Amino acid sequence: MKVQVLGSGCSKCRITIEQIERVAQERGVSVSIEKIQDPDAIRSFGVMATPAVVVDGRVCHAGGVPGRDEIASWLR
């Protein structure tokens, strides 16, 4: 599963990545996480608030750190 985390690399972005990795590991789901920090690339997704999460090409979340239950719903 391809997961992209869009953002400037701030603490919320790092926490988002850590949470996704943790939930994926707990559920036994293999994920490939890519950090995207380029503002033009982020805008190309139509995202106005970061961190944002894109799973398999679909924006699933934008603005703030997602909750564990929300992350788990993406990894099904």
40-43 long-range Cβ contacts below 8 angstroms, 24+ apart? 41/6, 42/6, 42/7
Mean pLDDT, range 2-15, rounded to an integer: 95
- Tell me how far apart the alpha carbons of residues 25 and 45 are, in angstroms, rounded to a whole number: 27
Nearest alpha-carbon partner for 23 in 51, 47, 55:
55
What is the distance between the terminal CA atoms of the chain, rounded to a whole angstrom? 10
- Predicted pLDDT at 44: 96
- Residue-range domain boundaries for the chain: 2-74
Reported as a single tens digit per residue, the pLDDT across 10-63 is 999 999 999 999 999 999 999 999 999 999 999 999 999 999 999 999 999 999
pTM: 0.93
What's the longest Cα–Cα distance across the chain?
A: 33
65 with 17: CB under 8 angstroms?
Answer: no
Pick one of 3.40.1190.10, 3.40.50.720, 3.40.30.10, 1.10.730.10 as the CATH number of 2-74: 3.40.30.10
pLDDT in the model for residue 42: 95
